[in-house]
Amino acid sequence: MKASIVVPLHNEEGNVDQVVEGLLAALKSLEDYEVILVDDCSSDSTGPLIDEWGRRELRVKTVHRAGSPGFGKALKAGFKAASGEVLIPFMGDLSDHPLDALRLYWKVAREGFDVAVGARWRRGGWAYGMPLPKKLFSIAFSKLSRLLLGTPTSDVTNAFKAYRRPVVESIELEADGFEASAELLIKAFFKGFKIADVPVGWRGRVRGEAKLKALKAGPSYLRLLLKSFLKYRVRGIKPEGPPAPA
């Protein structure tokens, strides 16, 4: 199964080279893969840097977004450009480890799950250098999601997940910000897709400015949770079930 690693990048000129080098080294054991670099309206040299990688490496594909930046927008653009059967968002700030992308991939490709969640709060997972408000929010949101919606994961907010292509193709992603990752997971759960946690590590950025601010992004996540609770629990809309295999 071909793997498509989708890397949204907004003003990440200091991290581009290390991200791509790490992914290419980690993924070389796979027979078929691609790395899709999405320049999300950067104002620095991120765009030219990814174009250089696209010229040098056949495995690297580049996408340039215009307009206003947004993680969810970049994710949708990357998914649209992807040709793989397994789609894996990967953060461009070096917080995710490239070898963990392989572990997520194999959870889907070998074990038959539709979604593999990079779980930092599961035993074996860890987060180093994460601001306390962000950590507390992620843990609390995931617990609330499990309590109110029944989502079977300890880490709803982590964007680092692997999706079988039919999952992404069956979901209309509405969010434009970082909450898009939680939206994908919640909708996949209520469509009946099989979801599993995979413990992963997370490391705080060394270069550049953090894009996700817990206090600023919090209301968007909470609106998503409330909307999902009203739709699936209060109004009792039943899960559709996953689409039949082709």
Q: Which amino acid is at 190?
A: F
Kindly give the parts of the chain with pLDDT less than 70. 206-216, 236-246
Tell me the CA distances in angstroms from 94 to 39, 97, 113, 214, one per residue in order. 16, 7, 26, 19
Model pLDDT for residues 69-89, shown as the tens digit of each residue: 999 999 999 999 999 999 999
pLDDT score of 245: 54
CATH for 3-234? 3.90.550.10
CA angle 209, 215, 219 (to 5 degrees): 125
pLDDT score of 55: 97
- Determine the Cα–Cα distance for residues 98 and 101; give it in Å rounded to an integer: 5
State the pTM of this model.
0.91
Cβ atoms 3, 86 nearer than 8 A: yes
pLDDT score of 196: 97
pLDDT score of 239: 59
| DSSP string computed for 22-37 | HHHHHHTTSSSEEEEE
Domain ranges of the chain: 3-234
CA angle 17, 158, 233 (to 5 degrees): 155
Model pLDDT for residues 22-69, shown as the tens digit of each residue: 999 999 999 999 999 999 999 999 999 999 999 999 999 999 999 999
Residues 6+ apart with CB under 8 A from 148: 225, 228, 229, 233
